[in-house]
Chain A
């Protein structure tokens, strides 16, 4: 399997599945289950954050390619919740706003029916350590 589609133990525990959309962008999907539930009937915000962080790292690895493999170190993540995520699959994709030598700035969104109506978004800063 291509390295960009390999899932971490955490991602496997969460039951994430990776695919590519028609534009070739990586999409990560999380099915609804009791394992990701927060308040009754809704997905836990922490599970949404985990989904968005995971797709951000996968998208970053994909952009770096097979040759360039710096160690990726999280600096911070800010998750904003816009709508309740209900008992349905949730999808996420990430956009790298800037990929520098030492820092990457990434945004991710999570949605259920329509990416134009996200349930949550995340902004992340990641250090690229080549030492």
Chain B
């Protein structure tokens, strides 16, 4: 696929992705975006907790949101939509998300080669200065040959 069309609206695109498949199940929502970064929100849901006794969200849905938000950051950095696949994604859990709070995920693409995009991100549950998690990962382009940025 070519460069984003001049009338391409990332917000519509992100909302479309968030309303499909696994992201629809967990309820991912659009928050904000810019050049090479994106922000999404995961609303709190009792059916996504890991332990009913504590009410703490399972890490799976947070992992999914951070995968989507870092993926989006790559398309926003390259200003084009090309298929890509996660090579690896690491998440460090600094502390559990507060039960009842939405989790906000921020993803940033900081380097792109011909084949690989490097991403990082953070998640918080209300205060961006007190993240609950950090992520780092790489994606590879399944059709290599796009711009290096």
Contact = CB atoms under 8 A, between A and B. Distances in A.
Interface residues of B, number: 36
B92 A75 contact: yes
Interface stretch (B7-15, B29-37, B57-65, B109-117): B57-65
A87 to B, nearest CB: 12
A10 B87 contact: no
A9 B90 CA distance: 24
A9 B46 contact: yes
Contact of A45 (B50, B52, B86): B86
B59 A44 contact: no
A66 to B, nearest CB: 17
A8 B89 contact: no
Nearest to B84: A39
Contact of A46 (B20, B51, B67, B88): B67
A38 to B, nearest CB: 6
B91 to A, nearest CB: 6
B72 interface: no
Nearest to A42: B85
B48 interface: yes
Contacts of B147: none
B65 A84 contact: no
Interface stretch (A49-57, A97-105, A110-118): A49-57
B89 A37 contact: no
B25 interface: yes
Contacts of A44: 21-23, 64, 67
A75 B60 contact: no
B68 interface: yes
B132 to A, nearest CB: 11
Nearest to A50: B60
A46 B86 CA distance: 10
B67 A45 contact: yes
Given A10-B50, A84-B85, A76 B61 contact: no
13 contacts: A9-B46, A9-B52, A34-B24, A35-B22, A37-B21, A38-B21, A45-B64, A46-B61, A47-B64, A73-B93, A76-B92, A77-B59, A77-B90
The 4 residue pairs across chains A and B that have the minimum distance between CB atoms: A50-B60, A46-B64, A37-B21, A10-B58
Interface of B: 20-26, 46-52, 57-61, 63-68, 83, 85-93, 96
Given A13-B48, A51-B60, 16 more contacts: A8-B52, A10-B60, A11-B58, A13-B47, A35-B24, A37-B20, A37-B21, A37-B22, A39-B83, A44-B21, A44-B22, A44-B64, A50-B59, A53-B58, A57-B50, A79-B89
